Amino acid sequence: MRCIASIAQDSRPIPSLSDTTRHQAQQIDQLRQQLAPSPDALSARAPHAADPLALPVESPCFAIHTIEWRGADAFPWLVREAPPEPVCIGPQGLRVLRDRVTRRLIARGYITSTAGIPEQDLSSGRLIVDILPGRIGAIRDEHGRIGWPATAFPQHADGLLNVRDLDQALENVRRLPGQAATAFDLVPGATLGDTDIVVRHPEAARRVRFIATADNAGLDATGRNQLGAIVAIDSPLRLYDQFVVTYNTDAALRDKALGSQAKSAAWNVPAGYASVSFGISEWTSRQTLSADARGIAGPRLAQRTRRYEAGLAFVPYRSSHGKTTLRLRLSRREDRSWLGPTELDVSRRDIVGYDVGVAHREKLAHGSIDAGLGMRGSVAGLSAHPGRVNDRPAWAGRYRILTATLGG
């Protein structure tokens, strides 16, 4: 099920795209999506189980008035979850407390961090709890290294090891088509508490992919039969980045009376919990207007649209079963048309726009829920030519649209 709601914040109509341009834009997006998977390393939410601290009643036991946490500077929430003081603890209670603290660390994703209680004199009423933070020793590739790990991994050597960071890194790597089967192994490091991450790339993975397409999904006016090609390169700059080039054209290559072409280039790179993207696209079409009553062919109508865009995405929240993503995209779009040798100023536009939004995915036992809020619009002050709209002589090119999505 998918629900979409839109609320226009400006009653003035937005300049619409021509059918040809809209169709070409959809074709380019579809071609890119074929080589831009969106993997997720989320797992279904586990049934919530309360984990209260239930200390056994023991005799003898020691009255504890103060708990001293050593090595817990990176885990301030542990102190807030400490048992109320004073409390009476015996040998079994110490084991219960140690195991519960370790479970709480694991529940937060710190799967290699542990708690320990050293030998000590409890008659003073002070209890010392040691936390051994699990850290990343080294990140190395088993074979077939394709890039610098620093861009894919949110944490680096000597940083705290958290499984949420590993999930994010795995998604950053697996989004490359040739790395969809990449996996991580955790092995003991050279120092106590350190864990090395071994990246296992798929054997004989292709870094360059080519796809050719053919369909009859074009428009009659500019060419029904279409041909296309996609070239995608995994990690061309050794940054776990991706470069994608697409080209689409009508199949009637020798027909000068009508035709359409679309081409684009896009590059994106991860940076831990963030990612940056840049793209440029161009769509062109031509068609000959219908002949008049004397059978004389009309003039040729040509259209050209160019789009430049830059985007930024960031994941501010991540759990084992959910992920929230913020996105921002800025774009500039130029539309121009010619009737014969004469440019049609009425259809000329040069508009700068933005697209911001937030999306959340929650993995459930039998599916998932995707929800999002977004806003897109124009930046009138930066738009060189807002174009014209019928019945709107004061049109300044300013518009804003809110969107809400909910799907599963």
For residue 169, give the CATH number of its domain: 3.10.20.310
Q: Do 106 and 95 fall into the same domain?
A: yes
Q: Do 194 and 152 fall into the same domain?
A: yes
CA distance 397 to 405: 26
Please check whether residue 120 lies inside any domain of the structure. Answer: yes
**What confidence tens digit (pLDDT) does each residue in 263-320 have?**
999 999 999 999 999 999 999 888 877 665 565 667 888 899 999 999 999 999 999 8
Domains in the chain: how many in total? 2
Please check whether residue 154 lies inside any domain of the structure. Answer: yes
Please check whether residue 402 lies inside any domain of the structure. Answer: no
β-strands 66-70, 126-132: how paired?
A: parallel
Q: Do 119 and 158 fall into the same domain?
A: no
| 388, 389, 392, 395 alpha-carbon torsion, rounded to 10° | -50
The domain boundary, picked from 163, 185, 200, lies at 200
Interacting residues of 90 by C-beta distance below 8 A, sequence separation 6+: 56, 58, 59, 60, 61, 62
Q: Do 123 and 140 fall into the same domain?
A: no
Interacting residues of 309 by C-beta distance below 8 A, sequence separation 6+: 277, 278, 279, 280, 329, 330, 331, 332
Please check whether residue 94 lies inside any domain of the structure. Answer: yes
Q: Do 108 and 167 fall into the same domain?
A: no
Q: What is the pLDDT of residue 391?
A: 76
Please check whether residue 127 lies inside any domain of the structure. Answer: yes
Please check whether residue 339 lies inside any domain of the structure. Answer: no
Regions of the chain with pLDDT less than 50 = 1-17
Q: Do 144 and 111 fall into the same domain?
A: no
Q: What is the pLDDT of residue 5?
A: 44
Q: Do 122 and 139 fall into the same domain?
A: no
The domain boundary, picked from 165, 181, 200, lies at 200
Q: Do 192 and 139 fall into the same domain?
A: yes
Half-sphere exposure of 107 (CA within 13 A, CB side): 15
CA nearest neighbour of 144 among 220, 81, 86, 207: 207
Q: Do 128 and 139 fall into the same domain?
A: no
Residue whose structure tokens are 């200390």 = 55
Residue 195 domain boundaries:
135-200
Q: Do 68 and 97 fall into the same domain?
A: yes
Q: Do 128 and 149 fall into the same domain?
A: no
* Prior bond of 60 cis (ω within 30°): yes
Exposure string for 38-53, b = 16+ CB within 10 A, e = fewer: eeebbeeeeeeeeeee
Q: Which two tokens stand for residue 257?
A: 């009376």
Please check whether residue 108 lies inside any domain of the structure. Answer: yes
Please check whether residue 13 lies inside any domain of the structure. Answer: no
Sign of CA dihedral 154, 159, 160, 163: positive
Q: Do 121 and 166 fall into the same domain?
A: no
Interacting residues of 160 by C-beta distance below 8 A, sequence separation 6+: 74, 110, 113, 133, 134, 135, 136
Residue whose structure tokens are 């586990």 = 46
